[in-house]
A and B are shown apart, each in its own frame.
Chain A
Amino acid sequence: MVSNEYALKTNDLNVFYGEKHAVKQLSIDFPSHSVTALIGPSGCGKSTYLRSLNRMNDLIEGAKVTGEIWFDGENVNHSAAHVRLLRKRIGMVFQKPNPFYKSIYENIAYGPRFHGVTNRKELNEIVESSLRKAALWDEVKDRLHHSALALSGGQQQRLCIARTLSLNPEILLLDEPASALDPISTSKIEELIQQLKANYTIIIVTHNMQQAARISDQTAFFLMGELIELNDTNQIFTKPTRKETEDYITGRFG
C-alpha cells in the first residue's frame, strides 16, 4: 500500500510550549495518497505535532517548533516560508466543527475568493464541486444561502471538509474530525476519508483505535511526545513490536 513517493516528511521535529517539550525529535514520512493515523493517549503530543505541519502553532504565543518539515522539495519550517500559501496547500479540519457564521455558500466561497477567484460562475462551480467531494451537495443544494449554523453537527463537519477542499489542497490534516459526532455521522466521515484518499494525502489524529484500524494505511503511536512505533496499520494492530503499543491498543492504559 505504501508508495515510494512522499507528500510530506518531518525530520527531528520538536515543539516547545514555553518550558514544556511537547513533541520530541519526530521523524515521520507520509506517503502520497495514503491515510496516516496518529494515535496515543491524551496529551501525547499528536495534535500538537499535527498543528505544526501547517504552521498553526505560529498562532500560539510561546510555542517554538524546531526541525525540518519537507514539503514539495522545500523545508517549510523556517521564517522565510510562505505560510499562507502553505496553509492553502495543506488544509486542516478541526475537532469541533467550526463553520463560519455565514451561509453555506459563503463558507465555501470565502477561501477561494480571498485567494483570487472573483468570477461568479467559477465560484459557483467550486462551491458545487467542493460540496460534492464532501458528500454534502445533495443535502444542502436547495439551501446554499441559508446559515451554515443550522446544519447538524455531522453536516457542519463535512461542510468544514468541503471548505478545506475548496482550495484544492494536496494534504488534509484532520484533528479528531469525528470525535464530536454521533456514530452515523462518524461513519459518513470515515467513508468520505476513504474516497478522498484517491486524490489527497491524509493525516488524521484520532482517539478511536477502531477508527484508525478501519481507515488508515499506516499508523504512528505517540507517547509523552515521542514516536514509539510507526508501521503499516495492519502490523501495528496485529503484531506491534513495542510493549507500550501493545498495552495501548489492547486497552491496558490511555
Chain B
Amino acid sequence: MNTKAKDRIATGVFYAMAMIIVAVLFGLLFYILFHGLQRIDLQFITSSPEFMKAGGGVGPQLFNSLYLLVLTMLITLPLGLGGGIYLAEYAPKNKVTDVIRLSIEVLSSLPSIVVGLFGLMLFVNTMGWGYSILSGAFALTVFNLPLMVRVVEESLSSVPREQKEASFALGITHWATIRKVLLPVALPGILTGAILAAGRIFGEAAALLFTAGMSSPNLNFANWNLLDPASPLNPFRPAETLAVHIWKINSEGLIPDVREVADGASALLVITVLVFNIAARWFGKWLYRRLTAS
C-alpha cells in the first residue's frame, strides 16, 4: 500500500471518529429535548413539585442549581486562582510542591460519592451546617478545586515567557506582572476551566445527596432575609438541585407523571447548561477583548 492511500485511510478514520462523537452528542440532545420539551412551560419552570399527584414543577430545584453554582464558584474561583498562581509562579521545585501536585492529582480522581460522604462528615456533621446549600457548595468545591487549580496553573504557564520578561524589565513587581500581564493572557484557558467546573456543578448528584440534601423547603421568593428558612437565599437551608431531583423521582417518585417530570427536568437541565455555556463564553470573549484590545 502506498503512502498516499495510507494517508487517505488515516484521514477517513479520523473523520469517522469525529462524526461518531458529533452523532452521539446530537443523538442524545435530540432524544432528551424531544421527550422533555413537551413538558416544559412556564408553570413547570416556576412551580414546586407535587408529591402524590400529577402536574408538579421543578421551580425550586432550578433555582437551587443556579444558586449552588454561584455559591460554589464564589468559593472555588478565589481558591483555584490562588492555588494555580502559587503553583505556576511562586512554588519552588522541591519535595513539598511535589507532594502538593500529587495531592491535587489524587483529589481530582476521587469518586464523587466519596467526596459526598466526606462532605457529610465534615461540613454537615462536624461543622454543623446540616443538609444545606453551604455544605453542598463546599463539597463541590472539594470536587472541583483540583480541576480549577490545574487549569489556572496550566493557563499561566502557557503564557509566553517573553511577556513576563518584558514586564520585569520595566521594573514591575511580580504580583503586578501576574495581574496585569499574565492573567489577561491566560483568561481564555481559565474561563474554559471555570465553564467545565460549572458544568460539573449542574450535573453532579452523588456528591450532593448527603450534603445539599434531597429536599427543598417551601420557598418564598419575596423573602430576602438570609437567615429565614423560607428564604431562597438562605445558605443554611437544604437544597435539592435539578440533577438530584431527577435521580430522586426516578428512584423513589410516587407521582403518576414521574416519566414526564424526569424528561422535562432533564431537558431543562441540558438547556440551562447550554445557555450558561454560551453566556459564559460570550462574556469571556468580551472581557478578553477589553483586556487585550484584540
Would you call B5 an interface residue if the criterion is a C-beta within 8 Å of the partner chain's C-beta atoms?
A: no
Contact residues of B between 157 and 190, Cβ < 8 Å to A: 160, 162-163, 165-173, 176, 180-181, 184-185
State the CA gap A106–B291 with chains docked (Å): 10
Contact A85 B171 (CB under 8 A): yes
Would you call B292 an interface residue if the criterion is a C-beta within 8 Å of the partner chain's C-beta atoms?
A: yes
Taken residue by residue from 5 to 23, chain A's Cβ proximity to chain B (1 for < 8 Å, 0 otherwise) reads as 0000000000000000000
Contacts of B168 in A (CB 8 A): 56, 59, 87
State the CA gap A106–B293 with chains docked (Å): 9
Using A84-B172, A98-B162, A110-B180 as known contacts, list a sample of 18 further A-B pairs with CB atoms less than 8 Å apart, ordered by residue number in A.
A56-B168, A84-B171, A87-B169, A87-B170, A87-B171, A94-B165, A98-B166, A99-B166, A100-B166, A101-B294, A102-B291, A110-B170, A114-B170, A114-B172, A114-B173, A114-B176, A114-B180, A147-B294
Least CB distance, B85 to chain A, in whole angstroms: 17
**How would you classify the secondary structure of chain B's contact residues: helix, strand, loop or mixed?**
helix
Contact B162 A111 (CB under 8 A): no
Contact B294 A88 (CB under 8 A): no
Least CB distance, A95 to chain B, in whole angstroms: 9
State the CA gap A106–B167 with chains docked (Å): 12
Contact B162 A94 (CB under 8 A): yes
Would you call A115 an interface residue if the criterion is a C-beta within 8 Å of the partner chain's C-beta atoms?
A: yes
Q: Which residue of A has the minimal Cβ distance to B180?
A: A110
Whether A56 contacts B172 in the complex (CB less than 8 A), given A94-B162, A145-B293, A147-B293, comes out as: no
- Can you report 28 residue pairs joining A to B where beta carbons are below 8 Å apart? A56-B165, A56-B169, A59-B168, A83-B171, A84-B172, A84-B173, A86-B171, A87-B168, A87-B169, A87-B170, A88-B170, A94-B166, A94-B169, A98-B160, A98-B166, A100-B167, A101-B184, A101-B291, A103-B293, A110-B167, A110-B172, A114-B170, A114-B171, A114-B172, A114-B176, A145-B293, A147-B293, A147-B294
Contact A101 B185 (CB under 8 A): yes
Q: Which residue of B has the minimal Cβ distance to A93?
A: B169
Contact B169 A92 (CB under 8 A): yes
Contacts of B291 in A (CB 8 A): 101-102
- Residue from B168, B180, B185 having most chain A Cβ neighbours under 10 A: B168
Would you call A164 an interface residue if the criterion is a C-beta within 8 Å of the partner chain's C-beta atoms?
A: yes
Q: Which residue of A has the minimal Cβ distance to B92?
A: A61
Least CB distance, A14 to chain B, in whole angstroms: 22
- Ordered nearest first, which 7 A-B pairs have the shortest CB separation? A103-B293, A88-B171, A98-B162, A87-B171, A84-B171, A111-B170, A92-B169
State the CA gap A54–B165 with chains docked (Å): 12
Least CB distance, B284 to chain A, in whole angstroms: 15
Contact B294 A115 (CB under 8 A): no
Q: Which residue of B has the minimal Cβ distance to A92?
A: B169
Query: Which of the residues A91, A101, A103 comes within 8 Å of B169, measured between beta carbons?
Result: A91
State the CA gap A229–B183 with chains docked (Å): 45
Contact A147 B170 (CB under 8 A): no
**A-B CB contacts (within 8 Å), total count:** 77
Would you call A146 an interface residue if the criterion is a C-beta within 8 Å of the partner chain's C-beta atoms?
A: yes
State the CA gap A147–B168 with chains docked (Å): 21
- Residue from A59, A101, A111 having most chain B Cβ neighbours under 10 A: A101
Would you call A26 an interface residue if the criterion is a C-beta within 8 Å of the partner chain's C-beta atoms?
A: no
Contact residues of B between 170 and 214, Cβ < 8 Å to A: 170-173, 176, 180-181, 184-185
Q: Which residue of B has the minimal Cβ distance to A84?
A: B171
Q: Which residue of A has the minimal Cβ distance to B184?
A: A101
State the CA gap A148–B291 with chains docked (Å): 12
Taken residue by residue from 197 to 222, chain A's Cβ proximity to chain B (1 for < 8 Å, 0 otherwise) reads as 00000000000000000000000000
State the CA gap A96–B162 with chains docked (Å): 8
Contact A167 B170 (CB under 8 A): yes
Would you call A46 an interface residue if the criterion is a C-beta within 8 Å of the partner chain's C-beta atoms?
A: no
Contacts of B180 in A (CB 8 A): 110, 114
Whether A98 contacts B163 in the complex (CB less than 8 A), given A147-B293, A149-B294, comes out as: yes
Contact A164 B170 (CB under 8 A): yes
State the CA gap A111–B169 with chains docked (Å): 10
State the CA gap A103–B293 with chains docked (Å): 5
Would you call A193 an interface residue if the criterion is a C-beta within 8 Å of the partner chain's C-beta atoms?
A: no
Contacts of A54 in B (CB 8 A): 169
Q: Which residue of B has the minimal Cβ distance to A103?
A: B293
State the CA gap A45–B167 with chains docked (Å): 23
State the CA gap A2–B160 with chains docked (Å): 39
Contacts of B173 in A (CB 8 A): 84, 114
Least CB distance, B189 to chain A, in whole angstroms: 13
Contact B165 A98 (CB under 8 A): yes
State the CA gap A110–B171 with chains docked (Å): 11
Least CB distance, A144 to chain B, in whole angstroms: 10
